[in-house]
């Protein structure tokens, strides 16, 4: 299924120091947080960054299983692939890692440029 009108941006989990390039559907949020989608390459970068998470890719089902490993519990969620289209109708194959579960915030490119200019 192709969902239309996705916009490229940068996304970070609330109170986290890491930001990832991804896509979100315009005007689509959950409890005030955006629902981002990421390419497979970006999800693999997340695996390198989040120490408390274990990422496993299932090539047969085209899904990522993400396991939260904590001292008190272990929780696994599976994220299926979907296709989204940008405003120019470019189709992108993505995964909604943490969509609807994690408190993702969206940042625009100009936000990062303003930080770099201040350094």
Domain membership of residue 42 (yes or no) is yes
The per-residue pLDDT for 114 is: 44
Domain membership of residue 62 (yes or no) is no
Domain membership of residue 104 (yes or no) is yes
pTM above 0.75, yes or no: yes
- What tens digit of pLDDT does each residue of 58-95 get? 999 999 999 988 777 788 999 999 999 988 888 999 99
Alpha-carbon distances, residue 23 vs 6, 79, 102 (angstroms): 6, 15, 15
Range of the domain at 32: 2-51+80-118
Domain membership of residue 99 (yes or no) is yes
Domain membership of residue 7 (yes or no) is yes
The per-residue pLDDT for 113 is: 46
Domain membership of residue 103 (yes or no) is yes
pLDDT-derived band at 115, boundaries 50, 70, 90:
very low
The number of angstroms, rounded, from the C-alpha of 44 to the middle of its chain's C-alpha atoms is: 11
What percent of the chain is helix, strand and coil (3-state, nearest 5)?
15, 55, 30
Residue 24, beta-bridge partner list: 7, 36
Domain membership of residue 107 (yes or no) is yes
Domain membership of residue 90 (yes or no) is yes
Q: How many domains does the chain have?
A: 1
């Amino acid at each position: 299924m192709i969902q239309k009108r996705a916009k490229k941006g940068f996304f970070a989990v609330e109170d986290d120091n890491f930001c990832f390039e991804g896509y979100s559907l315009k005007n689509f949020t959950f409890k005030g947080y955006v629902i981002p989608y990421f390419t497979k390459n970006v999800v693999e970068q997340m695996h390198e960054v989040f120490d408390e998470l274990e990422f496993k890719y299932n090539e047969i089902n085209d899904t990522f299983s993400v396991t939260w490993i904590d001292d008190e519990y272990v929780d696994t969620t599976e994220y299926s692939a979907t296709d989204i289209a940008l405003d120019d109708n470019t189709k992108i194959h993505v995964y909604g890692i943490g969509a609807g579960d994690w408190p993702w915030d969206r940042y625009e490119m100009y936000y990062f440029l303003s930080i770099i200019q201040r350094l």
